Structure 1
Amino acid sequence: MSSSATPDSGVVTSTDGENVGANKARAEELKNQANECFKNKTYEDAIKLYTEAIELDSENAIYFANRSFAYLRQESFGYALNDAVQAIKCNPAYLKGYYRRAGAHMALGKFKLALSDLEFVAKRCPNDKDAQMKYTECNKVVKKMAFERAIAVDKVEKSLLEMCRDLESATIEVDYEGPKLEDGKVTVEFMNSLMDWYKIEKKLHKNFAYRILCDVEALFKKQPSLVDITVPDDRKFTVCGDIHGQFYDLLNIFNINGLPSETNPYLFNGDFVDRGSFSVECIFTLFGFKLLYPDHFFMSRGNHESMSMNQMYGFTGEVVAKYSQTMSEMFTMVYNWLPLCHCINDKVLVMHGGLFSKDEVSLDDLRTIERNRQPPEEGLMCELLWSDPQPQNGRAPSKRGIGIQFGPDVTKSFLAHNKLDYIIRSHEVKNDGYEVAHDGKCITVFSAPNYCDATGNLGAFITLKGNDLKPQFKTYAAVPHPKVKPMAYASTLSLLA
């Protein structure tokens, strides 16, 4: 079997070229062009070309498997799963179809289903080291999850406060020259020192890291699932989208727009971590500002503030490498208390993902969501974190395989029902860092430029004033960062996705 990390070339070797047929020959040309687009990381173009090839030859498993891989790269996990299934239907002996299906299941956190496909491949390719390694790693994950479920019944859960008390008594080494909390509290001086410390790739001492986690959890616990924000008429308010562990681009936002303060408030709209390899630096910077300005700095939960995403896409590995497994568990506890959405001046609703599979959802419904858990696979909490807009009216199954896609009519109805002006959401890479859709009523903002050092997109943030709430967009390019590649701490299984 050829490498799982490249699209299949599927060279036609018929001895009678005249019998291949014009359509199949053209389909092969399109597939080859698509493969080149894939290699150049222009996945949208690759998908269009694979689709044209499929329209000409819908029985070729390779075309579906290759398009599945491109969808995986775009994080359209639902579409990727559908194509992998179709590839297997076209050719049940085509092993890359099973590889692609495993990748889609893995991306959706369905490890047992992925294991079944990887086992199928591994048994048929006993000499393929990559196949054997992926199967072994996935098997470890499934066994670990089963073990954790088994012991959970008897395990006496400690609160995060109790965990901090056990850990923060560790001696601070005399040669530690980094930032220190003052009487256990975050100050402006501490935050400036912390960002400077992180710039030179130094680590915050674990005692202070534990204290920040403990204090920010206590703060989030006091907030409802929907937080109301009041912006005075003459004041600016800034909304940022996904950061994804791109610390140096986060600092660039503050350089462009000013540091957070009581007169320069911010809302960061989820997906602070994963993929980028400076996620620890991002999250402690954001948590520090939350503690410093609790009423002027806001954070919404994203779909990547979850255990399964963190295990796959790097945050758990990064925390373990820089601190400990215990601290990664503490982050999970904190993320469970992050608010799910924010409403600005009773007129603009901000959430990470999008809208809902049912009509007449009210803001009060969102306020009463029980959020202290891992994200479910359906319902309001799931859809707030995972849904995406679509250009056509109505609703459709999500391209991601979780949440829904919602059209302009759904947005219009939701806004009218709740007397809102528009929604702001994040969750999707946009070439310009933002997109205005649904007749101006659904705005996407994405703040990680050149996402994963690969996509070439701009980043953006939104500013608005309380008197008119008119969104203004500021875009910016990526800035240099130390030579640590994205996904450096990710699970080897993430390569499937």
Structure 2
Amino acid sequence: MDVSASTSDSSSTMIIPTDSAEAQPPPSPPPLDSLTTAINGSASSPFNSDEPPSSSSPPELQLPLSWPQDGKLTLDWIHNLMACFDWSSRNLPPSQFPSVLPVHVFDSLILIASKMLHKEPNCVPIDPFQSHSESGDTTAATVVVVGDVHGQLHDLLFLLRDAGYPAQNRIFVFNGDYVDRGAWGLEIFLLLLAWKVFMPHNMYLLRGNHESKYCTSVYGFEKEVLAKYGDKGKHAYRKCLGCFEGLPLASVIAGRVYTAHGGLFRSVTVTPSKRLKGKKNRKINLNPDIKTLSLGSLEELSKARRSVLDPPWEGSNLIPGDVLWSDPSKNPGLAPNKERGIGLLWGPDCTEDFLKKYKLKLIIRSHEGPDAREKRDGLDGMTEGYTIDHIVESGKLITLFSAPDYPQFQATEERYNNKGAYVVLEPPNFDNPIFHSFEAVTPRPKANPYYDYEEVIDSDEELDLASMVTA
């Protein structure tokens, strides 16, 4: 089947039966009426079933995707998007990506999603008790928290099926790092944006340190977008960067759980100088001294300028750098994160102080995969996809990593073989995390890396900060 020839005209729609021998599809999605039932939160939803839906009469893929005339996404549209991304990852070269999602559809999706994200605060309050359904019901939703996924599309598709899709009674919070290293970061980011547009109060997307210009230029996402959109690649990449700027930095779930990609952050003291004679405005000095590091507040976080994608972070904009790059430590206190060259290390006492001050019970952060954790003395490895790093009087600090068998491309024969994990928080208290570990989907479709993984460091340590400033 000559897909490239059949799909060159984006004004026409190609129907691909998913039961063809060539397509080799995953278990087919259930019909639309079952999808509607799932979104309304039925316990008998096929999304929650241990058995895959019947593939005796598989639906057809609608290619290329077109933007709805009324501009409103439907569950059927999103499910077709997931199936098309899965199918194309197994059957099409990257250069044929526009035959699946034409650039004008990409533009419509990312424009609407960007507007939504930019309107959200730096730290998003998530209220599982607040109903957004037409019925006005106020029953509480469960919350699923997800860590790094790093371009591993098929593992994310499994996670979504395993946890149950976003629904009126199920909220997702993603802790960032959607792109880089894996071969399908663009598909993942666009898929999650589609869910955000469709169910904005049931899908929350936070920023990771890899949602930056520097990281995406080093770890493959920029080259991935250029490969997939060709002469429109630079345009698409710029649009992605603009969307990254809008991603919130953190969330507080039900007033009980703080989530962020890296974690805690420093206080930045603003010192007004004396008003100069004849001047209407005072000079403001923002010069935090690392010798007097102190824990930052949620109020300071709310005022940070998150649109800065890369260092140098200065003044109050040190806070986004900390939130995205910092790591926990077994040693008490706050200290510069010398291993990474950016962000902070914070100890159990800081976790206790933060939890107690804001009456929280949990901190869920991500940022560290098995490659980073093997270099951290005193902290557990990432073999199960999560670790409990601090247990203090007020609660716990958890690191969550959702990319199994990571990274996709490794220079060594021996792999980490780590599991991925996600966390389920249930009402009414949301403070007893239920961990779900899972293996990687195998075999992965064959793909070429978009960065020189044999030369580029595996973890985010020892970053070339000079390159980050000039990138």
TM-score under structure 2 length normalisation: 0.66
From 123, 145, 168, the equivalent of 1:239 is 145
Distance 1:391-1:492 versus aligned 2 partners, 3 A rule = closer
Question: C-alpha offsets along residues 447-470 of structure 1, whole Å, 9 cap, x if unaligned?
Answer: 000111332110000001131211
Tell me, in whole angstroms, the C-alpha distance in 2 between the residues paired with 1:243 and 1:414.
27
Q: Does 1:381 find its partner at 2:344?
A: no
**Any conservation in 2 of the 1:241–1:425 contact (CA below 8 Å)?**
yes
Q: Does 1:489 find its partner at 2:450?
A: yes
- Matching residue of 1:416: 356
Shift of 1:245: 0.2
- Matching residue of 1:447: 402
Q: Does 1:479 find its partner at 2:441?
A: yes
Tell me, in whole angstroms, the C-alpha distance in 1 between the residues paired with 2:124 and 2:305.
14
Q: Does 1:325 find its partner at 2:212?
A: no
Question: C-alpha offsets along residues 461-496 of structure 1, whole Å, 9 cap, x if unaligned?
Answer: 0001131211110000000220114xx112589536
Q: Does 1:209 find its partner at 2:111?
A: no
From 418, 426, 437, the equivalent of 2:366 is 426
What SS does the aligned partner of 1:442 have? Answer: strand
Shift of 1:356: 2.1
Distance 1:432-1:377 versus aligned 2 partners, 3 A rule = farther
Shift of 1:394: 1.8
From 414, 419, 422, the equivalent of 1:458 is 419
- Matching residue of 1:220: 117
Shift of 1:175: 5.3
What SS does the aligned partner of 1:273 have? Answer: coil
Q: Does 1:200 find its partner at 2:87?
A: yes
- Matching residue of 1:349: 258
Q: Which amino acid aligns with 1:471?
A: P
Q: Does 1:435 find its partner at 2:410?
A: no
**Any conservation in 1 of the 2:294–2:334 contact (CA below 8 Å)?**
no
Deviates more, 1:283-292 or 1:253-262: 253-262
- Matching residue of 1:396: 335
Q: Which amino acid aligns with 1:434?
A: Y
**Any conservation in 2 of the 1:300–1:338 contact (CA below 8 Å)?**
yes
Distance 1:442-1:179 versus aligned 2 partners, 3 A rule = same
**Any conservation in 2 of the 1:180–1:190 contact (CA below 8 Å)?**
no
**Any conservation in 2 of the 1:217–1:337 contact (CA below 8 Å)?**
yes
**Any conservation in 2 of the 1:306–1:332 contact (CA below 8 Å)?**
yes
- Matching residue of 1:172: 10
Distance 1:292-1:348 versus aligned 2 partners, 3 A rule = same
- Matching residue of 2:195: 289
Q: Which amino acid aligns with 1:350?
A: T
Tell me, in whole angstroms, the C-alpha distance in 2 between the residues paired with 1:275 and 1:420.
34
**Structure 2: unaligned runs, 5 residues or longer:** 1-7, 15-62, 93-99, 130-138, 267-292, 370-381, 409-414, 459-471
Shift of 1:368: 1.6
Tell me, in whole angstroms, the C-alpha distance in 1 between the residues paired with 2:457 and 2:171.
39
Shift of 1:419: 2.2
Tell me, in whole angstroms, the C-alpha distance in 2 between the residues paired with 1:420 and 1:303.
24
For the pair shown, the structure with the greater C-alpha radius of gyration is 1
Q: Describe how 1:93-172 pairs up with structure 2 within 5 A.
A: 172=10
Shift of 1:252: 0.5
- Runs of 4+ aligned residues of structure 1 deviating over 4 Å after TM superposition are 491-494
More strand by share: 2
Distance 1:328-1:464 versus aligned 2 partners, 3 A rule = same
**Any conservation in 2 of the 1:172–1:207 contact (CA below 8 Å)?**
no
Tell me, in whole angstroms, the C-alpha distance in 2 between the residues paired with 1:471 and 1:377.
36
What SS does the aligned partner of 2:456 have? Answer: helix
From 186, 190, 195, the equivalent of 2:73 is 186
Tell me, in whole angstroms, the C-alpha distance in 1 between the residues paired with 2:250 and 2:195.
18
**Any conservation in 2 of the 1:224–1:368 contact (CA below 8 Å)?**
no
Q: Does 1:405 find its partner at 2:345?
A: yes
Tell me, in whole angstroms, the C-alpha distance in 2 between the residues paired with 1:493 and 1:185.
44
**Any conservation in 1 of the 2:140–2:169 contact (CA below 8 Å)?**
no
Q: Describe how 1:27-106 pairs up with structure 2 within 5 A.
A: none
- Matching residue of 2:45: none
What SS does the aligned partner of 2:246 have? Answer: coil
**Structure 1: unaligned runs, 5 residues or longer:** 1-169
**Any conservation in 1 of the 2:141–2:168 contact (CA below 8 Å)?**
no
**Any conservation in 2 of the 1:375–1:381 contact (CA below 8 Å)?**
no
Shift of 1:300: 0.4
Tell me, in whole angstroms, the C-alpha distance in 2 between the residues paired with 1:346 and 1:359.
23
**Any conservation in 2 of the 1:312–1:493 contact (CA below 8 Å)?**
no
Distance 1:319-1:451 versus aligned 2 partners, 3 A rule = same
Question: C-alpha offsets along residues 346-375 of structure 1, whole Å, 9 cap, x if unaligned?
Answer: 221100001124435221211121112214
Shift of 1:174: 2.6
TM-score under structure 1 length normalisation: 0.63
**Any conservation in 1 of the 2:141–2:171 contact (CA below 8 Å)?**
no
- Matching residue of 1:276: 182
Q: Which amino acid aligns with 2:124?
A: V
Distance 1:242-1:235 versus aligned 2 partners, 3 A rule = same
What SS does the aligned partner of 1:197 have? Answer: helix
Question: C-alpha offsets along residues 296-329 of structure 1, whole Å, 9 cap, x if unaligned?
Answer: 1000000000001001101100001101111101
Q: Which amino acid aligns with 1:478?
A: A
Distance 1:290-1:305 versus aligned 2 partners, 3 A rule = same
Distance 1:251-1:492 versus aligned 2 partners, 3 A rule = closer
**Any conservation in 2 of the 1:362–1:418 contact (CA below 8 Å)?**
no
**Any conservation in 1 of the 2:214–2:310 contact (CA below 8 Å)?**
no
Tell me, in whole angstroms, the C-alpha distance in 2 between the residues paired with 1:476 and 1:219.
31
- Matching residue of 1:86: none
Question: C-alpha offsets along residues 383-422 of structure 1, whole Å, 9 cap, x if unaligned?
Answer: 1000000112123332211111111011111222222222
Shift of 1:193: 0.5
Q: Percent identity?
A: 34
